C-alpha cells in the first residue's frame, strides 16, 4: 500500500526513475480498487447501460490516469528510455508486448541521465 500512496503523492512527477516494485504494486492496488469500484457501481445500479462500468469507476479511472502515466514514464526512465517511448503502445500487439518487457526489465544499476538508481535512494546508499 505504501507504494500505491507513493505514486499518488508523486502524481504529476514525470522526472526521475521508478523501480519495478513501485510500478507493479501500483498496478496491483489499482486493479483491486478498480474492481471494488465496479462492484459498487453494479451493486448500486450506477452502471452505464450493459457495460458494467459506472460513475464511481469512471471517477476513479480519471483520478489515477495521470499518476499511472507518470509512474510508467519514470519506469521507462529506469531502464534508460525516454518517456516518449510509451507511445510504442500504439503499435498493434508488438508494442504492448515490447512495453511489457520493458516494464519487467531490471533498471540500470548506475546513475543514468534521468537520475540516480531508485534502489540506492530507498536503501540510503546513494553515492554523493
Residue 104 has pLDDT above 70, yes or no: yes
Question: In this predicted model, what pLDDT tens digit does every residue of 18-42 receive, in sequence order?
Answer: 999 999 999 999 999 999 999 999 8
Q: What is the pLDDT of residue 127?
A: 39
Residue 122 has pLDDT above 90, yes or no: no
d(CA 68, CA 72): 6
CB neighbours (10 Å) of residue 71?
28
Question: In this predicted model, what pLDDT tens digit does every residue of 66-86 receive, in sequence order?
Answer: 999 999 999 999 999 999 999
Q: What is this structure's pTM?
A: 0.86
Residue 123 has pLDDT above 60, yes or no: no
Amino acid at each position: 500500500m505504501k507504494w500505491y500512496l507513493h505514486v499518488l503523492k508523486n502524481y504529476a512527477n514525470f522526472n526521475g526513475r521508478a523501480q519495478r516494485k513501485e510500478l507493479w504494486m501500483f498496478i496491483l492496488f489499482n486493479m483491486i480498487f478498480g474492481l471494488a469500484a465496479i462492484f459498487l457501481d453494479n451493486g448500486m445500479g450506477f452502471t452505464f447501460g450493459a457495460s458494467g462500468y459506472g460513475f464511481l469507476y469512471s471517477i476513479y479511472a480519471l483520478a489515477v490516469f495521470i499518476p499511472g502515466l507518470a509512474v510508467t514514464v519514470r519506469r521507462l526512465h529506469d531502464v534508460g528510455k525516454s518517456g516518449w517511448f510509451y507511445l510504442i503502445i500504439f503499435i498493434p500487439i508488438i508494442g504492448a508486448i515490447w512495453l511489457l518487457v520493458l516494464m519487467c526489465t531490471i533498471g540500470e544499476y548506475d546513475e543514468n541521465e534521468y537520475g540516480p538508481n531508485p534502489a540506492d535512494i530507498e536503501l540510503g546508499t546513494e553515492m554523493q
